[in-house]
A and B are shown apart, each in its own frame.
Chain A
């Protein structure tokens, strides 16, 4: 794992040169395989974006327009669907809940995960590999298996309906992958830095805060982004725990509650679903590189 993560940086600069040489080797600017690539790319974009655009545009339709002319542009464009949802506080409350849960989960995962990985990466002690193995086997423990007992446990703690009841288990379930990704990052910090810091009288704990955390930032961003997306999209645990009023729900649960409530107003559901998709898409566009690197790095590791 260490090797693959260390391999990653040298691969990146190799890419531009290799593609350039491939281009010079080809006959023209647009040979047939380039055209094929463009064609496949366009088809893939259409199939990916088509349904999403249909959903977003559908939010601007009247119910009647959807029934009679679902393929054309809305006529007239109806702003009321989106406006009504945005004027209602429920949508905003759910967005806020999702944000709180996602941020809480992310901070917890990054903090506890990095802390847990630190001794596993840099200390020598008996049982180290055993502790690591415990976290690795944690990957095999899906939330689905644990969800019923977890529900009873949180219910007996009186935390159903509370966002804490979501955040804490989500942190716990994201720890394994975090420890696995973070360990090689922490290992890669040079020994000399540590020794120099100790000469200056820094304690191990101080070293962790002042040197390790800043240096391990790329890894922490990766696990943080993965944890954030996972939490933002989570459905199963909220489904069991947030059974109270709609204002206490997170967005995915809110979407299904809204769907159940407005079963006949399809275009309104389309607007609600589109709006709840927007934050995830913006977040994705901002951090696309990080997400992809994180995932491919995690998979290679």
Chain B
């Protein structure tokens, strides 16, 4: 121990002298310590510096810029210094049609209604994910959580859609759900009628079709995550319960589901954040529909902020989206995930 410390760069002698009783630290040692400190900070800067600079320049600064742009009327073409400062008018337009009574009615139609339409779609995706995807993935994972022939191949294939890009999934299903496509023909062949005007254009079915595609792409992730959680549940618990005469469903409900609670709660969190930010797939599917039948906050933001060159308004939408994500994330972490973390700390013996 002492040998290592004495030959270790610069910090050895200090430890050594302490064993010889209290003695004033010599100026030599002080200088050494200072040099040591400087060296340490230099290394920290070399290692963490590049990452931190990249992060500040390309993540923090743009997000801060979005907050700044959101207070201006700017088309992104002329210089930003010539843009007109309009305070929170962009936010007001999105939320209730703006503060000027003369234009409020027109702005309500142009900004407020499509905004709330998009918001309602995100909300629907969130609720439907919890109500449909969660139980479905959980049941499939519980059923698949055993040894059976072909188990590993099933797991690989189930997970594959997660790796395919949203763009490809979107284009693929767009062709399948074409008004004259195979989905329509299949429905007709079993005597049902596809929505007139096509699946996506329908005011009722458009968003549900998108939800179906989202489910196709992301259900596998949920199943695989749950299966990974289930593999950590001690087998003895289930066997003991089975010996005591518990049914399959009782074992799942009393043992397996509670024990993978942390995994489920993390999935819920990922799903919430993903649903709020849903963009690629919806954009590929006709930019959220000809009348925004399945628009989301993100596609709404791009539509206005980029393609209609209303950068200030688009930035306001971006900030609103950011605040929603942030509030959801913090609230979820403080209430639900904190419990899991506390439990993990306990398990760690802290």
Taking the complex as formed, is B32 at the interface, i.e. its CB lies under 8 A from any CB of chain A? Answer: no
Which residues of A sit under 8 angstroms from B306, Cβ to Cβ? Answer: 148, 151, 240
**B154, A150: Cβ atoms under 8 Å?**
no
Quick one: closest B residue to A254, CB to CB? B167
Could you mark each residue 185-212 of chain A with 1 if its beta carbon is under 8 Å from any beta carbon of chain B, else 0? 0000000000110110001110010000
Flag the segment in B84-92, B103-111, B113-121, B175-183 that touches A.
Answer: B175-183
Taking the complex as formed, is B245 at the interface, i.e. its CB lies under 8 A from any CB of chain A? Answer: no
Could you mark each residue 249-288 of chain A with 1 if its beta carbon is under 8 Å from any beta carbon of chain B, else 0? 0001101100100000010011001001100110111001
A273 CA to B166 CA in the complex, in Å? Answer: 12
**B52, A38: Cβ atoms under 8 Å?**
no
**A146, B180: Cβ atoms under 8 Å?**
no
Quick one: closest A residue to B176, CB to CB? A51
List 14 additional A-B contacts (Cβ < 8 Å) besides A116-B47, A134-B52, A277-B168.
Answer: A33-B146, A34-B146, A41-B154, A70-B182, A70-B185, A115-B47, A116-B52, A119-B44, A145-B63, A198-B7, A204-B43, A229-B163, A233-B167, A295-B221
Q: Which of B149, B171, B232 contacts A255 (CB 8 A)?
A: B171
**B158, A45: Cβ atoms under 8 Å?**
yes
**B58, A169: Cβ atoms under 8 Å?**
yes
**B158, A168: Cβ atoms under 8 Å?**
no
**A148, B160: Cβ atoms under 8 Å?**
no
A208 CA to B43 CA in the complex, in Å? Answer: 11
Main secondary structure of the interface of B (DSSP, over half): helix
Which residues of A sit under 8 angstroms from B29, Cβ to Cβ? Answer: none
Flag the segment in B94-102, B190-198, B320-328 that touches A.
Answer: B320-328
**A112, B50: Cβ atoms under 8 Å?**
yes
Chain B positions within 8 Å of A, measured between CB atoms, are: 3-4, 7-9, 40-41, 43-44, 46-48, 50-52, 54-55, 57-63, 65-66, 69, 76, 80, 140, 143-144, 146-151, 153-161, 163-168, 171-173, 175-176, 178, 180-182, 185-186, 216, 220-221, 223-225, 228, 231-232, 234-235, 238-239, 242, 248, 262-263, 266-267, 270, 273, 277, 279-280, 283-284, 298, 301-302, 305-306, 311, 314-315, 318-319, 321-322, 325-326, 329, 344, 347-348
Q: Which of B154, B283, B284 contacts A44 (CB 8 A)?
A: B154
Which residues of B sit under 8 angstroms from A15, Cβ to Cβ? Answer: 231
Taking the complex as formed, is A73 at the interface, i.e. its CB lies under 8 A from any CB of chain B? Answer: no
Taking the complex as formed, is A92 at the interface, i.e. its CB lies under 8 A from any CB of chain B? Answer: no
**B277, A142: Cβ atoms under 8 Å?**
yes
Taking the complex as formed, is A86 at the interface, i.e. its CB lies under 8 A from any CB of chain B? Answer: no
Subset of 29 A-B contacts with CB under 8 Å: A36-B143, A37-B143, A40-B143, A41-B150, A48-B158, A51-B172, A67-B180, A116-B51, A125-B40, A125-B44, A131-B52, A141-B60, A147-B302, A152-B65, A152-B311, A172-B54, A173-B58, A175-B59, A195-B4, A198-B4, A236-B283, A240-B306, A252-B167, A252-B168, A281-B160, A281-B163, A285-B156, A288-B156, A296-B228
Which residues of A sit under 8 angstroms from B302, Cβ to Cβ? Answer: 147, 236
Question: A148-B69, A175-B55 known; A120 and B182 CB under 8 Å?
Answer: no
Quick one: closest A residue to B239, CB to CB? A25
Question: A112-B50, A205-B46, A270-B175 known; A280 and B163 CB under 8 Å?
Answer: yes
Which residues of A sit under 8 angstroms from B155, Cβ to Cβ? Answer: 292
Could you mark each residue 10-34 of chain A with 1 if its beta carbon is under 8 Å from any beta carbon of chain B, else 0? 0100010111111101000000011
Taking the complex as formed, is A91 at the interface, i.e. its CB lies under 8 A from any CB of chain B? Answer: no
**A113, B51: Cβ atoms under 8 Å?**
yes
Which residues of B sit under 8 angstroms from A82, Cβ to Cβ? Answer: none
Could you mark each residue 144-162 of chain A with 1 if its beta carbon is under 8 Å from any beta carbon of chain B, else 0? 1111111111000000000
A2 CA to B62 CA in the complex, in Å? Answer: 32
Which residues of B sit under 8 angstroms from A259, Cβ to Cβ? Answer: 171
Chain A positions within 8 Å of B, measured between CB atoms, are: 2-4, 7, 11, 15, 17-23, 25, 33-34, 36-38, 40-41, 44-45, 47-49, 51-52, 54-55, 58, 67, 70-71, 112-113, 115-116, 118-120, 123, 125, 131, 134-135, 138, 140-142, 144-153, 168-169, 171-173, 175-176, 179, 195-196, 198-199, 203-205, 208, 229, 232-233, 235-236, 239-240, 252-253, 255-256, 259, 266, 269-270, 273, 276-277, 280-281, 283-285, 288, 291-292, 295-296, 299-300
Q: How far, in Å, is B120 (CB) from chain A's closest CB? A: 18
**A144, B277: Cβ atoms under 8 Å?**
yes
**B7, A199: Cβ atoms under 8 Å?**
yes
**B216, A51: Cβ atoms under 8 Å?**
yes
**A37, B44: Cβ atoms under 8 Å?**
no
Q: How far, in Å, is B188 (CB) from chain A's closest CB? A: 12
**A55, B63: Cβ atoms under 8 Å?**
no
Question: A54-B182, A235-B280 known; A37 and B55 CB under 8 Å?
Answer: no
Q: Which of A34, A67, A204, A273 contacts B168 (CB 8 A)?
A: A273
Which residues of A sit under 8 angstroms from B57, Cβ to Cβ? Answer: 172
Q: How far, in Å, is A132 (CB) from chain B's closest CB? A: 10
**A40, B140: Cβ atoms under 8 Å?**
yes
**B242, A25: Cβ atoms under 8 Å?**
yes
Which residues of B sit under 8 angstroms from A34, Cβ to Cβ? Answer: 146-148
**B263, A300: Cβ atoms under 8 Å?**
yes
Question: A25-B242, A149-B69, A153-B62 known; A144 and B166 CB under 8 Å?
Answer: no
Q: How far, in Å, is B192 (CB) from chain A's closest CB? A: 16
